[in-house]
Amino acid sequence: MLILSCPPPPPLSNLSPNPRIASPASRRLSPSSSVLLPRHCASHSQRPATERGHEFETGGTFYRRESAVGRDLGVLAAALHRRSGPQLRVLDAMCGCGIRSLRYLLEAGADFVLANDANDDNRGVVARNLARVSGEGRWAVSSNEANRVMTECYLKRDFYDLVDVDSFGSESSYLRSAMNCLKLGGLLYVTSTDGYTSGGHRPHQHYEFISYCTKCGHSQSYSWDELSKLSCTCNKEGGSLVVSGPLWTGPLHSVSYLTEMSNMAKQLGWMGNGVGTDLQKLLQLMVDESDPRLPFGYIKLDEVASRAKINSPPLRTMMSALQKRGYAVSRSHIATNAIKTDCPMATCIRIAKEV
């Protein structure tokens, strides 16, 4: 997940809406208005799913229960943003069954949510789920390709405080249009199941450069001006170097922001007293990762063990050994059996053999 602030957009204007989007700017709609439901989407009996105590239908849509913690983070970010502004308007560009949109309305206090999913067959399920929200004109449902919806919002100058792009695959093709329809100081929530593009392996998608030596496992960063100096201490010729980038090598998280999210989660009863351990662990892990001494990337202990020709050492044991030797270390929120540390790979291998 990535949450970004956005540069200012142009001012609002009253241009005519997309005819495929039911928008309260053009007509006042009841949450149960039939204009949102195609004729074939009559209500049907189905055992509802639940998330954070909210019932909803999944129908034939894609829904992954394990991603609930990621939705928690989005809702917490939205709720914090709501505190700092007069209103919260959300565009959920790939809403699936609409549970994230529903939670933005019920938990983050969104004033309006535009729930979009490219699959028109999901329209009825989304509308029935959002109909659980009271209050006139608080939501609308559309069924268009995400980039088209976001671009049309930009052209109409219909800007949003939070744009949510929960993409399946790479998020890179949606970033431009998502940023275009954000308000000044707005939030962009992005998820991606494809790190290949964001990892810089496709040069036409431009995101310092990072080299990885397949011979010794050492990684190093280089600026644009230093690309001609690519080398490794174990391999002067650079023949074993794999280079990725350009990539973001700065801080991953804001500790103050994570602390605010944690406090709000406790207020909502999502954490504490044995509740919400997954969310609590994730937030604390991201705080630990924010140690300014820690470099980019992470090291998998399986790779350390393979290079040391030993069994993989217990993660806690390895972390304790590194800390005793004065190195900064934390777990990685990306990989379960991996650490972030300022200890060079060669030294990690030696310490692993010792422990």
| Together in a domain, 221 and 340 | no
Query: Which is more confidently placed, 27 or 202?
Result: 202
Confidence of residue 274 (pLDDT cuts 50, 70, 90): low
Mean pLDDT (whole number) for 123-146: 93
Q: What is the distance between the alpha carbons of residues 210 and 245, in angstroms, rounded to a whole number? A: 6
Structural domain including 260 reads 250-290
On whether both 222 and 342 belong to a single domain, the answer is no
Mean pLDDT of the chain: 81
Q: What is the pTM of this model?
A: 0.65
* 324 part of a folded domain: yes
> Which are the contacts of 186, defined by CB distance < 8 A and separation ≥ 6?
5, 6, 81, 159, 160, 161, 162, 163
Looking at the structure, do residues 143 and 282 belong to the same domain, yes or no?
Answer: no
| Secondary structure element (H or E) that encloses residue 342, with its range | none
Query: How far is 197 from 80, CA to CA, in rounded Å?
Result: 30
Kindly state whether residues 323 and 286 are assigned to the same domain: no
What confidence category does residue 62 fall into, taking pLDDT thresholds of 50, 70 and 90?
confident
Using pLDDT thresholds of 50, 70 and 90, give the confidence band for residue 247: confident
Same domain (yes/no): 355, 325: yes
Q: Are both 36 and 170 inside the same structural domain? A: yes
- For residues 262-291, average pLDDT: 86
Q: Which residues pair with 340 in a beta bridge?
A: 330
Tell me which of 235, 258, 290 is where a domain ends: 290
Residues 87 and 175 in one domain: yes
| Whether 30 and 88 share a structural domain | yes
Does residue 266 belong to any structural domain of this protein? Answer: yes
Distance from C-alpha of 157 to C-alpha of 140, rounded to nearest angstrom: 17
Asked, for residue 202, whether it belongs to a domain, the answer is: no
> For the chain, how many structural domains are there in total?
4
Question: Are both 237 and 273 inside the same structural domain?
Answer: no
Asked whether residue 32 falls in the same domain as residue 47, the answer is yes
Cβ-Cβ contacts under 8 Å for 285 (sequence gap 6 or more): 330, 331, 332, 333
Q: Give me the mean pLDDT over the 123-149 stretch.
A: 93
* Same domain, yes or no: 98 and 83: yes
